[in-house]
């Protein structure tokens, strides 16, 4: 077996890749029978795996991505953006049969957003069929559990089993379901294979049935997840495992767009853990990554480098 330190990649992100059509300041009052206005519109590459891979690569982590893209202009746009950030794109699957998903996203003045998906988001490619493409990394990120391709218990278990057999550390971000609905009971054989699970507060409440973050984390720990981070948005985050609990407040910034903040958080946390950071230091760094992300429109716009994050932490004192 290849030693972990000799693996060509530090991190590989597996999951959804898409293009976001982001509309800011949408005015619901029509200006004509068929027309509306908005403050701004832009095209941005997105999807959890793309956001996480781009952020991790910018932070200096040797990062690859395994995802499915159509042989179309939207797919080309994603590959171009990933390559510019230094992400290894050699594991990407391109298909003529399945178009690249495009999401329409409405961003409100407070940074919160609503999105519109379509049938192309339902395509469930099979990453477990390409295990050779994700076993050559020190760690992998599932972006995201409960969304395609990780809304199928058999796919999830096959990928995690293969990853752990290769000695990889497993980070699993989560999303609320959109097409297929799974419960924690459906994944009871896979959850003990996850080293770090990172739901946001709404997701943790939905899957755990609890209202307090500490109780939410206890539910996931009870299913065998080793470490749980509940992302609390403007309230910071809470980390919990069997031995310790860490609570951190959010960094005090003015949010412009929260799109991808959680993905940048995950990338920052995973990158620092792979650098040997303690849980507390990795959480501080991740908090800063998420905060920086919200200062510009688009998930991959604001975060630029590890040095930028360290300077932000020094200046903000968070």
% of the chain surpassing 70 pLDDT? 98
In a domain, 145, yes or no: yes
Band (34; pLDDT cuts 50, 70, 90): confident
Residue 111's pLDDT is 63
Band (1; pLDDT cuts 50, 70, 90): very low
Question: Considering Cα of 201, then 205, then 208, then 214, what sign does the dihedral take?
Answer: positive
Least confident of 49-58, 83-92, 96-105: 96-105
In a domain, 92, yes or no: yes
In a domain, 29, yes or no: no
In a domain, 296, yes or no: yes
pLDDT above 60 (res 270):
yes
Band (3; pLDDT cuts 50, 70, 90): low
pLDDT above 70 (res 256):
yes
Q: What does the pLDDT look like over 279-313, one tens digit per residue?
A: 999 999 999 999 999 998 778 889 999 999 999 99
pLDDT above 50 (res 227):
yes
Q: Which residue has the tokens 């908090």?
A: 287
Q: Which of 121, 118, 169 is nearest to 274 (CA)?
A: 169
Residue 116's pLDDT is 84
Q: Domain count of the chain?
A: 1
Q: Does the N-terminal peptide bond of residue 149 adopt cis geometry, omega within 30 degrees of 0?
A: yes
Check if the beta carbon of residue 187 is closer than 8 Å to that of residue 161. Answer: no
> What would the mean pLDDT of 25-40 be, rounded to a whole number?
89
At 253, list the tokens.
Answer: 């910034």
pLDDT above 90 (res 181):
yes
Does 34 or 63 have the greater pLDDT score? 63
Residue 77's pLDDT is 97
At 221, list the tokens.
Answer: 């720990």
Distance, in Å, from the CA atom of 297 to the CA atom of 212, rounded to the nearest integer, reads 31
Q: Which of 185, 170, 176, 262 is nearest to 220 (CA)?
A: 185
Query: In the 8-state DSSP scheme, what is residue 301?
Result: T
Residue 183's pLDDT is 97
Distance, in Å, from the CA atom of 193 to the CA atom of 189, rounded to the nearest integer, reads 8
Give 136's Cβ-side CA count (13 Å radius).
Answer: 14
At 165, list the tokens.
Answer: 């057999």
Helix (H) or strand (E) holding 153: helix 153-165
**Helix, coil or strand: residue 29:** coil
Residue 109's pLDDT is 72
In a domain, 244, yes or no: yes
> What would the mean pLDDT of 213-242 be, rounded to a whole number?
97
In a domain, 32, yes or no: no
3-state secondary structure 79-133: HHHHHHCCCECCCCEEECCCCCCEEEEEECCCCCEEEECCHHHHCCCCHHHHHHH
Distance, in Å, from the CA atom of 10 to the CA atom of 63, rounded to the nearest integer, reads 6
Q: What does the pLDDT look like over 90-141, one tens digit per residue?
A: 999 999 999 999 988 887 777 677 888 777 777 778 999 999 999 999 999 9
In a domain, 133, yes or no: yes
At 119, list the tokens.
Answer: 């049938």
With a threshold of 0.75, does the pTM exceed it? yes
Residue 37 CB neighbour total at 10 angstroms: 12
Query: Residue 132: which domain range?
Result: 8-17+48-96+119-309
Distance, in Å, from the CA atom of 54 to the CA atom of 11, rounded to the nearest integer, reads 11
The CATH number of the domain holding residue 163 is 3.40.1190.20
Residue 5's pLDDT is 67
> What would the mean pLDDT of 39-51 be, rounded to a whole number?
90
Query: In the 8-state DSSP scheme, what is residue 134?
Result: T
In a domain, 197, yes or no: yes
> What would the mean pLDDT of 70-95 be, rounded to a whole number?
96
């Amino acid at each position: 077996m290849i030693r972990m330190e000799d693996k060509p990649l530090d991190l590989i992100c597996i999951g959804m890749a898409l293009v976001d059509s982001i509309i800011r300041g949408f005015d619901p009052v029509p200006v004509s029978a068929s027309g509306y206005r908005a403050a701004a519109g832009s095209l941005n590459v997105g999807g959890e795996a793309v956001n996480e891979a781009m952020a991790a690569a910018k932070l200096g982590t040797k990062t690859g991505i395994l995802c499915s893209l159509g042989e179309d202009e939207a797919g080309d746009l994603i590959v171009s953006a990933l390559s510019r950030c230094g992400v290894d794109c050699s594991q990407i699957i391109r298909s003529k049969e399945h178009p690249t998903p495009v999401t329409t996203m409405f961003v409100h003045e407070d940074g919160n957003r609503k999105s519109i998906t379509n049938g192309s988001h339902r395509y469930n490619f099979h990453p477990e069929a390409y295990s050779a493409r994700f076993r050559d990394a020190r760690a992998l990120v599932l972006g995201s559990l409960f969304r395609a391709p990780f809304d199928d218990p058999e796919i999830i278990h096959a990928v995690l089993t293969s990853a752990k057999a290769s000695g990889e550390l497993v980070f699993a971000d989560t999303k609320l379901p959109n097409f297929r609905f799974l419960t924690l009971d459906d994944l009871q054989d896979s959850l003990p294979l996850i080293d770090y699970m990172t739901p946001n507060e709404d997701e943790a409440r939905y899957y755990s049935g609890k209202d307090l973050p500490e109780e939410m984390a206890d539910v996931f720990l009870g299913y065998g997840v080793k470490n749980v981070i509940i992302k609390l948005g403007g309230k910071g985050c809470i980390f919990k495992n069997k031995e310790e609990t860490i609570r951190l407040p959010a960094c005090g910034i003015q949010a412009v767009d929260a799109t991808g903040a959680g993905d940048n958080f995950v990338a920052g946390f995973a990158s620092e853990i792979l650098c040997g950071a303690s849980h507390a230091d990795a959480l501080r760094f991740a908090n800063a990554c998420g905060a920086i992300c919200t200062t510009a429109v688009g998930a991959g716009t604001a975060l630029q480098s590890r040095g930028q994050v360290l300077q932000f932490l020094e200046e903000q004192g968070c």
